[in-house]
Structure 1
Amino acid sequence: MHAFISHNHRDKPDVKPLAARLRLLGVDVWLDSWEIRPGDSIPGKVNEALGLVDTVMVFWSVNSSTSAWVNTEWEVALTRRMRDNSVRVIPIILDDTPLPPLLEPIMWVSLADGDVDRAARELVGVESQAQLLKLMQQTVEESGLEYRYFEGFGVIVGCPRCGAPSSKLEGWSAVDDRRDDMYAGVRCGQCGWDEGGEI
């Protein structure tokens, strides 16, 4: 699946977690903030993507219902669908804003409850949470990424500041004897970046 994410920028906090899950499931996701770089023509990039994808996911909300961009994107997708049936259009409901009449008869997915994993399962046809996690793990393993887990931070593939691989990162721990608290985290041996928290 090569999916275009049509959404209003104010809904990005709801959209990005699902887009990231879909990427972990092997979906080729086109999201503006991941694909458009400074100096790019925004209409040109959007137009190019809408012509290449096989799925357009329309994240529908009160914000998107008044967005000229979102309305243009789903109208272009529906026109392509009616012309040659080369694209699927999937409405993804973020709140109780009614769908436009042309999108109403299309099977939709709800994200109004915030259950990102359930929505991802519905979109890719995975029945259980266990299956979803197995597919994500398989994608990570097949990617060949070197990743490590650091207590106090979590999983990391590289330094967020300089891009050093996880082999250049080292874990640390410390105790605050006065408060009897333990802290841990990760430090980059290349640039000195350091982050962690109480454990």
Structure 2
Amino acid sequence: MDSENTIFFSYSRDDSEFVLDLAKNLRQAGAKIWLDQLDIKPGARWDSSIEKALAKSKTLLVVLSEASVISHNVMDEVSYALEENKAVVPILMEKCEIPFRLRRLQYADFSGDYKTGVKTLIDALNLDKEVAKNLADVTTDKPAKPIKKKEERITQPPHDSEKPQNFIQDKNNQKPPKTWLVESIIVTLFCCLPLGIVGIINATKVESRFYAGDLKEANRYSADAKKWTTISFWTGLVIWVLYIFAVASGIVNEY
């Protein structure tokens, strides 16, 4: 992916219809865009693919709506882009409370007329003349109002912090997997520092993935945290036993 001018889409899944339509228009016009629903290959891990694409992209295009402004994942992507000095271009899809960190940025307004939104987007993205002309041409037949959001949920993995429907229904009966955070910290302090740190890193991701609705990933991080914590414990124990044996045998001095 060409990071010099690739545009990364950050959005809420609730706005997928609008986002897909706009992304396809931009790509058809000649702009280089990256959108998870269009560019993640079958079998690829969604989280790692999104992270790599965001890191390589120069511009983040964040679609603002009532759903996206309360999405932790969308706001995390915005924060990362700002911290990495990437260009951040907000799109106001509908009237909503614009996050403080984005209020001073020029945004494209699609909350009223679609064609007017395209014009402001061209200016905000600073598209070259050919791409801008092509984008204006491919949107000439678009409706005056933005595409209305679908009521039903998308069944693909969530890009934002919205929980899958089955997770919402069962959340009161579910608890996050064991994090192993306390155990990994203890073995890191008293046993084996490098391996324990790996356990801590995995442990800190368990609850965040669970509350993001990704139970599969939460279980994976929990299992990895347990694995590295266990490895660290037994490695440290073996080292201590060997050390005590060496001291007792006079192979090494205790002090």
Answer whether TM exceeds 0.5 for this pair: yes
Structure whose CA Rg is larger: 2
Equivalence map 1:23-172=2 (5 Å): 23-81=27-85, 87-116=86-115, 117-125=118-126, 132-133=133-134
* Unaligned stretches of 5+ residues in structure 1: 82-86, 138-199
Structure 2 match to 1:156: none
Aligned length: 130
SS at match of 2:30: coil
Shift of 1:67: 1.4
Describe the superposition over 1:121-147 as per-residue Cα deviations: whole angstroms up to 9, x where unpaired.
Answer: 33454799xx7249869xxxxxxxxxx
**Compared CA separation, residues 69 and 125, structure 1 to 2 (3 A):** same
- The answer (yes or no) to whether the contact 1:10–1:63 under 8 Å persists in 2 is yes
- Give identity over the alignment, percent: 24
The alignment status of 1:5 with 2:9, answered yes or no, reads yes
Partners of 1:37 and 1:92 lie apart in 2 by 26
Change (3 A) 1:125 1:40: same
> In structure 2, do the counterparts of structure 1 residues 68 and 88 end up closer, same or farther at CA, with 3 Å as the change threshold?
same
Using the size of structure 1 for normalisation, the TM-score is 0.58
Q: 1:2: Cα distance to partner?
A: 0.7
Which one has a larger percent helix, Structure 1 or Structure 2? 2
Q: Matched residues in 2 for 1:23 and 1:4: separation?
A: 12
**Native 8 Å contact 2:29 2:135 kept in 1:** no
Task: Check the 8 A contact 1:93/1:108 in 2, yes or no.
Answer: yes
Structure 1 vs Structure 2 CA RMSD: 2.6
Structure 2: state its 5+ residue gaps.
139-255
How far the C-alpha of 1:32 sits from its partner, in A, is 0.5
TM-score scaled by structure 2?
Answer: 0.46
